[in-house]
């Protein structure tokens, strides 16, 4: 049973516009949520995170929003740049130190 879901396998946006990547989770015990960026044949790199006590966290062009009641989080990238093209993974963790990942969304930013 997949506890973290990214229902959009791909997203294409124009350079300079906003990219919105979505993620849903089912386990109410998750209390820490992260976004990672990944290139082929490499390990993921951490982008931004949010704890369950917040509903928004911002870092430069990246903002993560958390809606606990809906068990939904999203990553906003604005403005999008061609270098942002990669696969983005949503991840969630509970207090037992496990970490579950979604299936990923491939973002393509067109010049």
Partner 1 sequence: DGGITQSPKYLFRKEGQNVTLSCEQNLNHDAMYWYRQDPGQGLRLIYYSQIVNDFQKGDIAEGYSVSREKKESFPLTVTSAQKNPTAFYLCASRETGGFLYEQYFGPGTRLTVT
51 sits near partner 1 (criterion: CB under 8 A): yes
98 sits near partner 1 (criterion: CB under 8 A): yes
Count, residues near partner 1 per rule CB under 8 A: 27
Nearer Cβ to partner 1 (42/111): 42
* Options 37, 104, 107, 109; binder of partner 1; rule CB under 8 A: 104
Nearer Cβ to partner 1 (10/67): 10
Q: For the segment 12-41, give every residue that binds partner 1 (CB under 8 A).
A: 31-32, 34, 41
The DSSP annotation for the chain comes to --SEE---SEEEEETTS-EEEEEEE--TT--EEEEEEE-TTS--EEEEEEETT-SEEEETTEEEEEETTTTEEEEEESS--GGG-EEEEEEEE-TT---EE---EEEEEE-
* 106 strand-pairing partners: 10, 87
Q: How far is the CB of 21 from partner 1 (least distance, A)?
A: 13
Nearer Cβ to partner 1 (1/111): 1
Q: Interface with partner 1 by CB under 8 A: which residues?
A: 6, 9, 31-32, 34, 41-46, 49, 51, 89, 91, 93-104
């Amino acid at each position: 049973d997949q506890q973290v879901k990214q229902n959009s396998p791909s997203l294409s946006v124009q350079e300079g516009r906003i990219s919105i990547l979505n993620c849903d989770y089912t386990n109410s015990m998750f209390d820490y949520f992260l976004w990672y960026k990944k290139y082929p044949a490499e390990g993921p790199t951490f982008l931004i995170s949010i704890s369950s006590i917040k509903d928004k966290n911002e870092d430069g062009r990246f903002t993560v929003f958390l809606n606990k009641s809906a068990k939904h989080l999203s990553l906003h990238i604005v403005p999008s740049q061609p270098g942002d093209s990669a696969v983005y993974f949503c991840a969630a963790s509970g207090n037992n130190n496990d970490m579950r990942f979604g299936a990923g969304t491939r973002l393509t930013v067109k010049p």
